[in-house]
Amino acid sequence: MDVNSYAYHHPTPWETKFEPASLPDMLAATTAKNPQAPFLHFLGRTFDYGSVHEEAQRFAAGLIAHGIERGDRVGLFLPNVPIYASAYYGAMLAGAIVVNFSPLYTVDELAWQVADSGTRLLVTVDVPELYSTAAQVLDHSELETLVVGSLADMLPWPKKLALKTLGRGKIAKVAFVKRVRAFSSILSDPAAAKFPPIDAHSDIALLQYTGGTTGRPKGAMLGHSQLSINAQQVAGMNPFGTPAEEVFMGALPFFHVFANTALLNHAMVTGASIAMVPRFEAGQVLDTIQKYRTTGFPGVPTMYQALLDHPKMAKTDVSSIKVCISGGAPMPGPLHTRFEEKTGVRVVEGYGLTESSGVVSANPYDGVRKKGTIGQLVMGTEVAFLDKEDPTKLAPEGEPGELAVHGPQIMRGYWNRPDTDADTFVERDGKRYLRTGDVAVMDEDGFLSIVDRIKDMISVGGFKVFPSQVEDVLLEHDAVKEVLVIGQPDDYLGECPFAYVVLQEGAKATADELRDWLNARVGKHERVEQVVLRESLPKTMIGKLDRKALRAEVGA
């Protein structure tokens, strides 16, 4: 549908053209306006734009002195801590490509992505679980250097003292050797560094890993232009007052593309601040909302459910919040209604993908919206609806089709996988559209709805679970002959993985034993709710296990 054929309800005109820029240049420009403006609030300590920018410059200078060159990959294996921002923008200032790694990764998952991306240097923090995982990867991979930040050094003085004296079990004992460096020791004088030029139009800024229906995750190549424009597109949806006075609730993990764009880069572009927590914990989030009078809250549906369920909710003043933005997974209608009735805060749903730098569409923050839809397209973004059986054709008029997206925020492609381009993109009218794998429709008012999904990914609380990876782990068990993993609806998480297993002849393993064995070996969000033992699994005519048929059978 032509965007000009319906009323556009975002406050910035759809035809607005945003200028691409490098993310470090945008940080420098925002900092120059008001270096003392707060950027990050963290557990009672505030870091202003000037201090974050300075540390990013010092980190960039240290990377260059350490031998990091333009195009090298620098990994971030971090929770939401202040050095995430300085390492993120600093690595880019040094000309490096940032690689985001989930702090939930197991050793094997982290090692595989380090190898696939060619990450040379990895930044983590001295939290025992993270440091232990990163250190094991350092010992058994091509990773050259591990940089470890001090959590205590990021805290206000009383909490720093308490952590160092009373919380010794919460701090890893780091053996600083040649290949393991303290974050503070990497920092160097930016005046002595020669920062490489950054071409916002061509240089890659970030490798953000995602996955498909089969095989390992793939690194989406997001350039400075894609990320900077998507941040401006998100900012263009805000109809409220002075953007620099906004305080975003930073509960989403920064390593996730949603948070990278809707929180970190969005705040940086506008001069807003982020009241961040290391990880989502409902009670701490409610305390943070009240302490910092947060005005905007991007989150996933499970966060809003957890807030409603927490006993502090009834006593917390959330009146400062102007809007909550829900993404990552569809929001159940009853939850949407209950949250708004309980809090008086408007919740709007949006949609995006890793491959789109984070955001494709959203319901307007003010005025017209439609519950259950993913809203209207952000500025400069176009869509096509492809035939579900033949993506070279458009879907019949008025019928659902595979959503394909064209816009300045769409990725360059997958890292080291040019062979995937033919399945990932489709050319129409001289424009390259990203195939999303989601089946959608658009109504007469330009509001999009996702009605089905082509890809097999399971969305667990906003995190993507790739069935084939879980299946590969379960197949390592001697008792397992065949397995298929599919998602089942869940009121809290959106979906939960279920594993359907055929045992080897004569094997005596129980379903509970297999579930516990598997869940001890996979990441938190990959853990299956249930293992179901079966005599057989559906197969195609050529003998391939048929996930689609199983899903239909279980659904019926």
Is 213 domain-assigned? no
Lookup: tokens for 469? 């990876």
Q: What is the pLDDT of residue 45?
A: 97
Q: What is the pLDDT of residue 424?
A: 95
Please state, in angstroms and rounded to a whole number, the distance separating the CA atoms of residues 238 and 274: 16
Half-sphere exposure of 74 (CA within 13 A, CB side): 30
473 and 485 Cβ atoms separated by less than 8 Å: no
Residue type at 135 in one-letter notation: A
Mean pLDDT for 128-141 is: 96
Q: What is the pLDDT of residue 214?
A: 44
Is 500 domain-assigned? yes
Mean pLDDT, the chain, integer: 93
Is 189 domain-assigned? yes
Is 204 domain-assigned? no
**Structure confidence by residue, pLDDT tens digits, 445-488:** 999 998 877 767 788 988 878 787 788 899 899 999 889 999 99
Mean pLDDT for 332-361 is: 94
Is 30 domain-assigned? yes
Which CATH number does the domain housing residue 87 bear?
3.40.50.980
Q: Of 199, 218, 238, which closes a domain? A: 199
Helix (H, G, I), strand (E, B) or coil at 289: helix
Q: What is the pLDDT of residue 167?
A: 65
Q: What is the pLDDT of residue 213?
A: 39
Which CATH number does the domain housing residue 463 bear?
3.30.300.30
Q: What is the pLDDT of residue 168?
A: 67
Is 516 domain-assigned? yes
Q: How far is CA 90 from CA 55, 57, 146, 305, 506, in A?
A: 8, 6, 16, 36, 57
Single pTM value for the model? 0.86
Q: DSSP label at 262? A: I
The residues with which 428 forms a beta bridge, in sequence order, are 431
**Structure confidence by residue, pLDDT tens digits, 530-552:** 999 999 999 865 556 788 889 88
Mean pLDDT for 351-367 is: 96
Percent of the chain surpassing pLDDT 90 = 78
Of 125-139, 330-344, 404-418, 535-549, the poorest mean pLDDT is in: 535-549
Lookup: tokens for 461? 């609380």
Mean pLDDT for 404-422 is: 96
Please state, in angstroms and rounded to a whole number, the distance separating the CA atoms of residues 331 and 437: 19
**Structure confidence by residue, pLDDT tens digits, 231-267:** 999 999 999 989 999 999 999 999 999 999 999 999 9
**Structure confidence by residue, pLDDT tens digits, 205-231:** 999 998 543 457 899 999 999 999 999
Q: Are strands 361-362 and 347-351 parallel, antiparallel or unpaired?
A: antiparallel
Q: Which domain holds residue 479?
A: 458-555
Q: What are phi and psi of 494, to 5 degrees?
A: 90, -55
Q: What is the pLDDT of residue 212?
A: 44
Its sign, for the CA torsion 449, 453, 454, 458, is positive
Q: Is residue 147 scored above 70 in pLDDT?
A: yes
Q: Of 168, 199, 230, which closes a domain? A: 199
How many structural domains compose the chain?
A: 2
Q: Of 199, 227, 244, which closes a domain? A: 199
Q: What is the pLDDT of residue 503?
A: 93
**Polymer length of the chain:** 556
Within 10 Å of residue 261's Cβ, how many Cβ atoms? 26
Is 509 domain-assigned? yes
Higher pLDDT, 372 or 136: 136
Is 146 domain-assigned? yes
Residue type at 49 in one-letter notation: Y
Helix (H, G, I), strand (E, B) or coil at 387: coil
Please state, in angstroms and rounded to a whole number, the distance separating the CA atoms of residues 218 and 221: 9
